[in-house]
Structure formats: C-alpha cells, structure tokens
Amino acid sequence: MCYNCGCEIADDNMGKPDAKGASLTDASFEDMAKGWGMTVEETKKNVYKLLKKQFAN
C-alpha cells in the first residue's frame, strides 16, 4: 500500500486485501503488467513517466 499511503512498504496491503482498489501494492503492478503483456518494470516506468508529467503542470 505504500504507493498510496506513504508507508513505503510496497507489498503491504495494510489489511485491506478485499477492498478492491483500496491498496496499490507491487501485486497491483504485477496484475496490470500481466493484463497488458508487459513486464512489471515497463509498467512501473510508464506509471512513473505519467506521474512526472502530471506533477510538472
């Protein structure tokens, strides 16, 4: 959940495994990558690129 709460523990869902979309974890990136036929690294890079672009504005 660290991606959205700030705890910096990338694989901890903070006890909210059933709350769809409540926790963004490394498993979330794995699911997204698999769904698009990409690697986790590619997926994270694309997310990072978009976030950098959004915060630049």
Number of domains in the chain: 1
Q: What is the DSSP string of 14-57?
A: TT-TTSTTS---HHHHHHHHHHHT--HHHHHHHHHHHHHHHHH-
Q: Give the span between the Cα atoms of 31 and 51, in whole angstroms.
A: 19
Give the domain range for residue 44.
2-56
Please give the DSSP secondary-structure letter assigned to residue 5: H
Q: Give the span between the Cα atoms of 29 and 37, in whole angstroms.
A: 12
| Per-residue confidence in pLDDT tens, the chain, 57 aa | 578 888 888 888 877 766 666 788 898 999 999 999 999 999 999 999 999 999 997
